[in-house]
Structure 1
Amino acid sequence: MGNCLGGSSYVNKVSSTAKPESPPKIQNPSERDRSEERKLPSNPGEVEALRRGASSAARNPLVAFSFAELRRVANDFRKDAQIGGGGFGRVYKGSFSPPGDAALLPVAVKVHDGDNSFQGHREWLAEVIFLGQLSHPNLVKLVGYCCEGDHRVLVYEYLPLGSVESHLFSRTSPPLPWAARMRIALGAARGLAFLHGAQPAPVIYRDFKTSNILLGAGFHAKLSDFGLAKDGPVGEASHVSTRVMGTYGYAAPEYMMTGHLTASSDVYSYGVVLLELLTGRRSLDRSRPPREQALTDWALPALPHKKRVMGIVDPRLLQGGDGDEGAPPARAVQKAAMLAYHCLNRNPKARPLMRDVVASLEPLQQPPEEPGAAA
């Protein structure tokens, strides 16, 4: 889910969708740095000063909303306007007219909890900084923000199809067709490849998972929720050191063990998501037998074997459907499986670059079904 809002000055940020049964967050305990907390912005002027200092690159125009303006945009935050929620707070659908434009723009308004923690405030600011300077067709567009008193709000473009998670693991909707899954895989890969090639420093996303990939018309994938994003290593540096954060089941094993973060950490997480698209299973599912709870442990041995891999494919795909698509081509499944296998290599230096992942996925694309057919 992602959306934008209207107001006076400019700024940008991303949102996320509802996360039912999401795996637990990883967060190592650490003491708060009170001096650092005092440096966090408390008003739009301070936010804009930080944005100017964060990069010499051109910045995206963002609307700095007052909280009163956001109430109007988000229909007074009524319960029937709520479209998602999680540990960060709640997300509402709304609309506003951008400056100089009479047309109403649908937006998603992400309201952080009032008792927001220091970490929550930092994640809010990270979204403003990163989405306020990065722009790409496969990143959610940040329309604006609110930094007023205790209120920390982000306004994104509204993406009508919600998250990949809500489609892939739904028990009520028709299964995602193979073509749609490959289109999603390619779009998400392009988003990550763009981040990893950012200048002057690569951006490491650090929380790549199905609930953070939002869908527009035609299953066009966009990465959302940049709260954990971090500048990557530059020059001779091989990694950046940071406390371990992310989501169990998706985080790279070497990052969890050492706190050393590289672009390869994202590549591993991408491999997990590609595996979820192939199998229709969650990265971590405690309702399954013990040996099948961790998706990578269960599926990895089958990936390099052409015949065995067909046994772990989402059975709903193999059953075909009422449309023309039917079961996915075995050769395409095998190629996608081998790509996931390489992304999940225990040796981070042996994993492919995301630009190479993009090149591998492009030949696997087919025209997807219309969104209405799979929603």
Structure 2
Amino acid sequence: MGCFRCFSIKFKKKKNKDERRRQGPAATAASFASTISTAPRSSLSYSTVSSSAIGTSQSVDSSSAVRPAASKSSGSVSVSSARSIPELYEERGANNLREFSFRELQAATSDFSRLLKVGEGGFGSVYKGVIRLPGGPAGGTVVAIKKLNPNGHQGHKQWLAEVQFLGVVEHPNLVKLIGYCAARSERGPQRLLVYEFLTNKTLDDHLFDRAYPVLPWEIRLEIALGAAEGLLYLHEGLEVQIIYRDFKASNVLLDEEFKVKLSDFGLAREGPSAGHTHVSTAVMGTYGYAAPDYVETGHLTTKSDVWSFGVVLYEILTGRRSMERNRPKNEQKLLEWVGQYPVESKRFIKIIDIRLDGQYSKQGAREIAKLANSCLAKHRKDRPTMKEVVESLKQVMQRKELDGDVGASGESSSPDKAFGKTTTTAEDVAVASARRRMLHLAALGENANSIAKRRFMLMRASAAPTPT
């Protein structure tokens, strides 16, 4: 089957190439700009996947296209609907996204000052900036600006995929794309994306960075539900099915109220076409989060996202990353470690994040683990849909008791002390206190950035030659 699909793809490409030759350079450029297939490299690659199982993708020179244009998508990733993502983008997104000039984004970030750098990933660096938007505040709108690293693992195709996917989707649990920049400067081709700015960083930061206060049980469940609803929308909320393909804690952004916004759609793909069970594609994503059936075969489905969600559920439950090489050998791989503590056994409580210090629901934790196990089923047909996951999470959230066992280790202070609480009886007080603490940390970070920026500007001014 895989060989037949590859042959079909090559045949269609040759046919399209002949048509473009007859139609001239304009058609060639349009077809090129609409390519959203997967890039040949990512943070995850496997040599074990046979070539017959991997879909063919075209390479793209990032300097060849200057703006996202829409056209027909290839048959390898088309969906059951007659319209594809590029077609929907032309209808919905092309007029909703703003095209920024490179100079405008340079000015917004003080020429991409390292003092305004707030993150870095496979795509490149993310900067905090201020831009003026029609109808926005007089002082400008704070935004996040992601700048493609031309030497990085991701390239023009991921940039274009993100523009087109985020130009089509609209959901409270998906990050909002404001606009893009595709230009050529003295530094070469430039590809940038401009998003809404989210003050509370990522789930990864709050779970694993000990500089942050303990994330309370209730907020962990709210985050899990928000992420699940975002994935459900991608899988079932559009006429086009979208497979996220890179769900992980670092792609779960949080706003000031800890509402979830899924980000980074560079690896997203359209679902299988009518009559097909999967999309055959190169294996990409992040090690530790990719479903084993996808890794072994290159067959991508929505159940690949479900597997990744199961991994993150265990991260939320345990406060441990999917892979931690600094731990003892039998604890380095999260899924192998939690497997030593069956859900129904008395030993199960040993996997619960010790920093919760008993402030969690015993039965709720077991139900979360059972849900995670179902998401991690070996055969994809045995995994639940995201709709079923959402319903299960809502049921767990009905459990209001915080009757978990207090950890025996003194590894961390209790959540009460971390958030400055004086009582442990009211869960709404705990949640409100946690949010106030996070906002305080964000304000401190803003103040530190402002001070550092002023010092930097003074240093530059003092180093400048005195006019004669």
TM-score, normalisation: structure 2 = 0.68
Aligned to 2:148: 112
More helix, by proportion? 2
Matched, 1:67 2:85: no
Aligned to 1:20: none
Structure 1 segments (4+ residues) deviating >6 Å: none
1:79-158 correspondence runs (5 A): 79-103=114-138, 104-115=140-151, 119-149=154-184, 150-158=189-197
SS in 2 for 1:71: helix
Distance 2:385 2:44 in 1: 25
Name which of structure 1's ranges 365-374 and 242-251 shifts more when overlaid on structure 2. Answer: 365-374
Aligned to 1:42: 65
Aligned to 2:376: 344
Displacement, 1:73?
A: 1.8
The residue type equivalent to 1:109 in the other structure is I
Distance 2:64 2:174 in 1: 25
CA separation of 1:132/1:303 partners in 2, compared to 1, >3 Å: closer, same or farther? farther
Higher relative contact order (CA 8 A, sep 6+): 1
The residue type equivalent to 2:368 in the other structure is A
More strand, by proportion? 1
Distance 2:353 2:43 in 1: 26
Listed one character per residue, the Cα deviations across residues 190-243 of structure 1 (whole Å, up to 9, x for unaligned) are: 000000114333111101100000000221111000010001113221100001
The residue type equivalent to 2:200 in the other structure is L
The residue type equivalent to 1:48 in the other structure is A
Listed one character per residue, the Cα deviations across residues 293-327 of structure 1 (whole Å, up to 9, x for unaligned) are: 1101111343531533211100111x25xxxxxx1
Distance 2:217 2:85 in 1: 44
SS in 2 for 1:245: coil
Any gaps of 5 or more consecutive residues in structure 2? 1-41, 73-83, 401-427, 442-468
Distance 1:38 1:106 in 2: 31
Contact map agreement 2:199 2:254 (CA 8 A) in 1: yes
Aligned to 1:18: none
Matched, 1:55 2:78: no
SS in 2 for 1:59: helix
Displacement, 1:66?
A: 0.8
Aligned to 1:15: none
Aligned pair partner of 1:233 in 272, 281, 284: 272
Aligned pair partner of 2:436 in 365, 372, 375: 372
Any gaps of 5 or more consecutive residues in structure 1? 1-23, 321-326
Distance 2:304 2:207 in 1: 23
Name which of structure 1's ranges 364-373 and 255-264 shifts more when overlaid on structure 2. Answer: 364-373
Listed one character per residue, the Cα deviations across residues 61-117 of structure 1 (whole Å, up to 9, x for unaligned) are: 111111001112223211211111133221110111212434422100001113467
CA separation of 1:170/1:106 partners in 2, compared to 1, >3 Å: closer, same or farther? same
The residue type equivalent to 2:69 in the other structure is E
Aligned to 1:25: 43
Contact map agreement 2:62 2:156 (CA 8 A) in 1: no
TM-score, normalisation: structure 1 = 0.85
Contact map agreement 1:233 1:240 (CA 8 A) in 2: yes
1:353-372 correspondence runs (5 A): 353-365=385-397, 368-369=431-432, 370-372=434-436
Distance 1:123 1:38 in 2: 12
Contact map agreement 1:202 1:231 (CA 8 A) in 2: yes
State the number of aligned residues: 341
Matched, 1:171 2:210: yes
Distance 2:436 2:152 in 1: 38
The residue type equivalent to 1:185 in the other structure is A
Name which of structure 1's ranges 362-371 and 131-140 shifts more when overlaid on structure 2. Answer: 362-371
Distance 2:126 2:370 in 1: 37
Contact map agreement 2:85 2:165 (CA 8 A) in 1: no
Displacement, 1:49?
A: 3.6
Distance 1:34 1:194 in 2: 26
The percentage of counterpart residues that share the same residue type is 46
Displacement, 1:371?
A: 2.1
Contact map agreement 1:77 1:92 (CA 8 A) in 2: yes
Aligned to 1:295: 334
Distance 2:342 2:383 in 1: 15
Displacement, 1:25?
A: 2.1
Distance 2:227 2:361 in 1: 22
CA separation of 1:178/1:233 partners in 2, compared to 1, >3 Å: closer, same or farther? same
SS in 1 for 2:60: helix
Matched, 1:78 2:113: yes
Contact map agreement 2:70 2:87 (CA 8 A) in 1: no
Aligned to 2:409: none
Bigger Rg, which one:
2
Distance 1:207 1:69 in 2: 30
Distance 2:314 2:177 in 1: 29
Aligned to 1:9: none
CA separation of 1:373/1:255 partners in 2, compared to 1, >3 Å: closer, same or farther? same
Distance 1:315 1:39 in 2: 47
SS in 2 for 1:122: helix
* Alignment root-mean-square deviation, CA: 2.4
CA separation of 1:349/1:67 partners in 2, compared to 1, >3 Å: closer, same or farther? same
Distance 1:356 1:41 in 2: 44
